[in-house]
Structure 1
Amino acid sequence: MKLHLTTAAAGLLLLTGIGAAAAQDVIIQPEQETVIREYVHKQPLASVKVPGVELNVGTALPDTVELHEVPNVKYRYVVVDNRTVIVDPGTRKIVQVLE
């Protein structure tokens, strides 16, 4: 009986870990990306510097960085080191860096 419980617990932990990893993958739909790119092109921002922060997907931006809204899109954007960064406003994590 103890072996079955241990196996079940290990399986549950494995599934929970997989679900958490999948939840971190944010995929911006092509239509949304097009809307964001067009809006950013029409509404250029001055680039800001954020010392000590690498522009990688999953990196959280500090509260001192002002995020700018894109109408009808859940994500926000900011230009850091001359690169447009798409951010989840709830977590402030980078979901995409536009090239």
Structure 2
Amino acid sequence: MKIHLVPAAAGLVLLAGVGVATADQVIVTPEQQTVVREYVHKHPLASISLLGVELNVGSTLPDTVELQPIDVPDVEYRYVVVDNHTVLVDPGTRRIVQVID
């Protein structure tokens, strides 16, 4: 009986971890993406280069990068253009939530 409980317990731990991971995911709706793209198009920024920073969701941008506010309802992120890609960033954590373009 003990042999069957260990794999079952391990499975529950893995499932609990998956639940936590999905709770941390940020979802930017297609409608928000469209509005953000239009806003960024109307308010272009110069592109910057960041050596050693990968443009992946979850990557953290250094404090030296100036984040620009987005004046769009229901979007609390900021943006910056890195290597000609618009990057949405959580201003509290400075983590990339989405790479647009």
Q: Give TM-score scaled by structure 1 length.
A: 0.82
Within 2, Cα distance between the matches of 1:19 and 1:91?
21
The one-letter amino acid of 2:55's match is: L
Shift of 1:9: 5.8
Within 1, Cα distance between the matches of 2:49 and 2:99?
15
**Other-structure match for 1:22:** 22
Within 2, Cα distance between the matches of 1:60 and 1:77?
13
The one-letter amino acid of 1:37's match is: R
The alignment partner of 1:91 has SS state of coil
**Other-structure match for 1:64:** 64
CA RMSD after TM alignment? 2.1
Summarize deviations over 1:13-43 as a string: whole Å, max 9, x none: 3343112210232220112111110100000
Tell whether 2:98 aligns with 1:96: yes
Summarize deviations over 1:25-67 as a string: whole Å, max 9, x none: 2220112111110100000001111110011111111111111
**Other-structure match for 2:40:** 40
Q: Give TM-score scaled by structure 2 length.
A: 0.80
**Other-structure match for 1:76:** 78
The alignment partner of 1:50 has SS state of coil
